[in-house]
Amino acid sequence: MVIWNGYIRIMDVSIAEAKTQLTKLIRAVEDGEQVVITRNGKAVAQITPPPPARRPVRFDTMRGRIHMEPGCMDPITEEQFFSGEY
């Protein structure tokens, strides 16, 4: 069963049908559908497209761009903190 819900198409499929039709279900997901797998009429799992690709983490990209002022890590008193003199 395909349900139109705005722009999302959702297909409910029993576990038994999912076992025999997995290739077709994957193709449906590739075409933009969401597949909900049911057991006794209740949703138990969902097949959706993977999240969009994320850019890889690159370390040391800020090296040489951040400069600490001399004395910035020196301890301050409570009075300096509350007065904003630091």
Statement: the pTM of the whole predicted model exceeds 0.75: no
**All domains in the chain, ordered by first residue:** 2-47 (3.40.1620.10)
In the three-class reduction of DSSP (H, G, I as helix; E, B as strand; rest coil), residue 32 is classed as coil
pLDDT at 8: 59
Largest CA distance in the chain: 73
Lateral strand order in the sheet of 33-39: 2-5, 8-14, 33-39, 42-47
Tell me what pLDDT residue 86 has. Answer: 64
The whole-number pLDDT of residue 68 equals 85
Q: How far are the Cα atoms of 3, 19, 48, 70 from residue 28, in angstroms, in the given order?
A: 13, 15, 10, 61
pLDDT at 40: 95
What letter would DSSP give residue 75? -
What is the spatial distance between Cα 86 and Cα 4, in angstroms, rounded to a whole number?
Answer: 60
Rounded mean pLDDT for each run of 10 residues along the chain, 86 residues in total:
56 94 93 92 92 84 85 88 80
The H or E element that residue 52 is part of is none
How many helical (H) and strand (E) elements, i.e. helices and strands, does the chain have? 3, 4
